[in-house]
Structure 1
Amino acid sequence: MNAPSPPTRALASHAPLSVGQFVAFIAALMALNALAVDIMLPALPAIGADLGMAVENDRQMVITAYLLGFGLGQFFMGPLSDRFGRRPVLIAGLLAYAAAAALCASVSGASALLAARFAQGIGSAAPRVIVTALVRDCYEGRTMARVTSYAMMVFMVAPVIAPSIGQAVLLAGPWRWIFAVLALYAAAVLWVAATRLPETLPPQRRRALSRAGLAGSARLVLGSRQTVGYALAAGVFFGAL
């Protein structure tokens, strides 16, 4: 019987989180983005009526502003986590997400709400990018694929139940409570990240921020037909939604 081949690189440990806890944590991070979009869909009419957004398309800017921040933030979170480590960038992103959600719950005008949603999107970019890096730091090969698949199974439930959660919150209180729920959820995930998640990128594997390095990484990604194809397909699919 052939012995299992050794790992091709040194793998980090996510202890004290067990495998099951790590998968649940990864799924919780991935759900942040889905919840931020889908949980408030039932509240858009109430938000528009309260903040003077009479035109239906104007209400949809609550979603668009978030997605703009989310898309823009992803350009920076990866290089920052490669330079400073996964944990500090993740914690900063979760703090921004929770603070922006709390601000959304207290705004008095449409412009302030859109600005806070944009900031929330930037904060959400950190867990979305770093979640993949965390799995890759700790696993490789089939084990990495299996852990990711388990997390995806849990994550896929979030956009399905999020509108129902939003509707339930509206039955109990005003639309501002939805953002309070998002802030509390992010705070709970932040607590786990701050108290239980170790740093998975050791200093010797970190990369300096440089134009040459960023340009090389961009060429590597854009030069992969498979990566570009999947990205375009995902963009078209998400845009159609």
Structure 2
Amino acid sequence: MAALMSLNALAIDAMLPALDEIASAFAIDDPNRRQLVVGVYLLATGFGALVPGLFADRYGRRPVLFVSLGIYLVASLLCMIAPTFEVLLGLRAMQGFGTAGLMVLPAAIIRDRFDGDRMARLLSMIFIVFMLVPVLAPTMGQAVLSVASWEWIFFALGLFGLAAAVWAWLRMPETLDPRNRQKIDPRTIAYNLPLTLRTRSSVGYVLGGGLTFGGVFGYINSAPQLIGGHFGAEEQFPLIFGASAATLAFSSFANSRIVERFGARRVSHTALIAFIFVSLVQVYAAEIHADSLAWFFPLISINLCLLGFLGSNFGSIAMQPFFNSAGAASSVQASIRMLLGAVMGIVIGQFYDGTALPLAIALLASSLISLALVLFSERGKLFTRPRQSRYFTEGPR
């Protein structure tokens, strides 16, 4: 599951060192426009996430998974031969839309087998591997650029996709219980897709997770310009970006060790409040110490570290009410999170003004709104730990 989810992260972060070369190859004058190579992929993934869960609830997890892997491989190879920047963006949209299943299905597969805090623990263990990819991917992209042109990064993506497909074919069983298969018809779709938005205990965590990750997508989009341009550390970019992202792997590991003891809600609520405080310091640093990487780097690293206590726990809490329709629920939740995050990331990236202030303000605003949304889902109470239960949200069959 970690390898499958990592393919999406690889398709995002491996491209970061190549954005300058891509802009140069296609004569892109606006430095913010090159960010669309990442932003369009994220946006298309958000729309595409609505599709695979519905088919996975009907035909099983494995068939849909291998279709997604096939699209990932083909789209990666086609990106190598894109004749114009617009065609490249179109192919990236195709890649993101078609491979959304790689983001949606792992959560549904885990939900098929586990629930509650144990599910949160397993998702955290998966995130440990998943979050190592942003650490290594820019270095991989830089290594490819040292011996070849940017097109060969897409070739490397295709190789990783092929390896993951072979591994999944050999090791992953079908996890959907035949009794939980659902028909693909307008009534089922009309019920399942908006179900998350009608479930109060879930919606706040889905929207809140999308907003907090939106700030991080803004960092990813603008990181090459921010670190390489504003802070003047272009040569050290893969190291600095990777080191900040490494904190996510650390916190995911820590979360996997403590979440069953303290509960997903207590851990994530504490992390969200800490995120707000750190974001306040980010705004101060961006105003008073605007040119200091020594201020920016530890603060963004702490923000990313705290996300390790938010992502898997928010996802687990949001999925808890959905057992009989885990695939559709995972689809709609992943879609909402990704669309919110992608739109925010693009907006933050396009507002980049040569300083870290737009990013800092976005991190603070998104975390404050997330806290309000969590309070809505929890009916005004934080740090609770509901009794473990295996309950279901029934829908039409």
Q: What TM-score comes out, normalization by structure 1 length?
A: 0.83
Inter-partner Cα distance in structure 1 for 2:21 and 2:200: 44
Question: Which residue of 136, 145, 153 maps to 1:178?
Answer: 153
Partner of 1:11: none
Pairs within 5 Å for 1:192-211: 192-211=167-186
Q: Which moved more, 1:160-169 or 1:72-81?
A: 160-169
- Tell me if structure 2 keeps the 8 A contact 1:77–1:125: yes
Partner of 2:123: 148
Partner of 1:4: none
1:34 partnered with 2:34: no
Question: Which residue of 104, 111, 121 maps to 2:79?
Answer: 104
Inter-partner Cα distance in structure 2 for 1:219 and 1:55: 38
- Tell me if structure 2 keeps the 8 A contact 1:169–1:178: yes
Residues 116 and 219 of structure 1: CA distance in aligned 2, closer, same or farther (over 3 Å):
closer
In the TM superposition, residue 141 of structure 1 has moved relative to its aligned partner by 4.4
Other structure's SS at 2:182 match: coil
In the TM superposition, residue 227 of structure 1 has moved relative to its aligned partner by 2.5
Partner of 1:228: 203
1:237 partnered with 2:212: yes
Inter-partner Cα distance in structure 2 for 1:160 and 1:237: 20
Inter-partner Cα distance in structure 2 for 1:226 and 1:39: 36
- Tell me if structure 2 keeps the 8 A contact 1:33–1:128: yes
Inter-partner Cα distance in structure 2 for 1:172 and 1:237: 37
Q: Which protein shows a greater Rg?
A: 2
Inter-partner Cα distance in structure 1 for 2:97 and 2:195: 24
Pairs within 5 Å for 1:109-128: 109-128=84-103
Inter-partner Cα distance in structure 1 for 2:214 and 2:160: 26
What is the identity percentage for the equivalent residue pairs of Structure 1 and Structure 2?
A: 43
Inter-partner Cα distance in structure 1 for 2:135 and 2:200: 31
Inter-partner Cα distance in structure 2 for 1:79 and 1:144: 21
Aligned residues: 216
- Tell me if structure 2 keeps the 8 A contact 1:93–1:122: no
- C-alpha RMSD over aligned residues: 1.7
Inter-partner Cα distance in structure 2 for 1:61 and 1:158: 21
Q: Which runs of 5+ in 2 are unaligned?
A: 219-397
Inter-partner Cα distance in structure 2 for 1:136 and 1:34: 22
Pairs within 5 Å for 1:34-183: 34-183=9-158
Q: Which runs of 5+ in 1 are unaligned?
A: 1-25
For 1:38, give the aligned amino acid.
D
Inter-partner Cα distance in structure 2 for 1:232 and 1:161: 29
Q: Which moved more, 1:109-118 or 1:135-144?
A: 135-144
Inter-partner Cα distance in structure 2 for 1:51 and 1:209: 43
In the TM superposition, residue 111 of structure 1 has moved relative to its aligned partner by 1.9
Other structure's SS at 1:60 match: helix
Q: Which moved more, 1:157-166 or 1:142-151?
A: 142-151
Deviation string, structure 1 residues 146-173 (Cα, Å, up to 9, x no partner): 3222111111211222222211221121
Inter-partner Cα distance in structure 1 for 2:144 and 2:177: 42
Inter-partner Cα distance in structure 2 for 1:164 and 1:104: 20
For 1:154, give the aligned amino acid.
V
In the TM superposition, residue 100 of structure 1 has moved relative to its aligned partner by 0.4
Inter-partner Cα distance in structure 2 for 1:179 and 1:103: 9
Inter-partner Cα distance in structure 2 for 1:193 and 1:175: 28
Deviation string, structure 1 residues 166-198 (Cα, Å, up to 9, x no partner): 112211211111111111101111112223322
Other structure's SS at 1:53 match: coil
Inter-partner Cα distance in structure 2 for 1:238 and 1:166: 23
Q: What TM-score comes out, normalization by structure 2 length?
A: 0.52
For 1:54, give the aligned amino acid.
D
Partner of 2:268: none
Inter-partner Cα distance in structure 1 for 2:38 and 2:23: 12
Inter-partner Cα distance in structure 2 for 1:180 and 1:144: 34
